[in-house]
Amino acid sequence: MSTKEEHIIELENPVSLTYGCLRNKLLPSLLEFLSKNTKKEYPQKIFEVGDVVYPDSDKDEMSVTEKKLAFAISHSEATFTEVKQVLGAMFSNLDKTAILKEIDHDSFIAGRCAAIYLEKEKIGIIGEIHPQVLENWGLEMPIVGFEISLNYSY
């Protein structure tokens, strides 16, 4: 994902190296799925709801689990505007308005990435996946997506 190394929770005696740690993001799982479906018809629109786990030494269990939603679109003309419309429609159905604030993130194209806020709380990230990340996954089509926390009281 072209990001800096992060603290993750590694498993002792994993069944396989693929599942040697607990995930802290969902978008990489969607990119992995898309990388295994490059011969399928486009556009491809996928989502996942799942748990991510972060180390937290202040907690008794030494971690925090958070439920998240990730969504991605892949086709030859996928744009930030397209995925922003999906996010907007989702929040519109919840009678909420998400605020986007441009940020820099190594996994996304500069100028095409934003933090997602509800009221004053940051709940996620949205953007166009960086070409280097696409290349790392063996993907040729542009991909746009977002990942949001579902722990927020919507």
Domain boundaries of the chain, sorted by first residue: 17-149
Q: Round to whole Å and give the CA distance between 111 and 113.
A: 6
What are the residues whose beta carbons fall under 8 Å from the beta carbon of 86, sequence distance 6 or more? 71, 73, 146
Domain 17-149 has CATH 3.30.300.30: no
pLDDT of residue 1: 86
In this structure, is the dihedral angle defined by the CA atoms of residues 98, 102, 103 and 108, taken in order, positive or negative? positive
In this structure, is the dihedral angle defined by the CA atoms of residues 36, 85, 50 and 127, taken in order, positive or negative? positive
Q: Round to whole Å and give the CA distance between 25 and 32.
A: 12
Judge contact between 127 and 102, C-beta under 8 A: no
pLDDT of residue 24: 95
pLDDT of residue 99: 98
Q: Round to whole Å and give the CA distance between 57 and 66.
A: 16
pLDDT of residue 98: 96
Instruction: Produce one character per residue of 6-36: b if its CB has 16 or more CB atoms within 10 Å, e if not.
Output: eeeeeeeeeeeeeeeebebbbbbbbbeebee
The pLDDT profile of the chain, 154 residues, written as one tens digit per residue, is 887 877 888 888 888 877 788 899 999 999 999 999 999 999 999 999 999 999 999 999 999 999 999 999 999 999 999 999 999 999 999 999 999 999 999 999 999 999 999 999 999 999 999 999 999 999 999 999 999 999 987 6
What are the residues whose beta carbons fall under 8 Å from the beta carbon of 10, sequence distance 6 or more? 20, 21
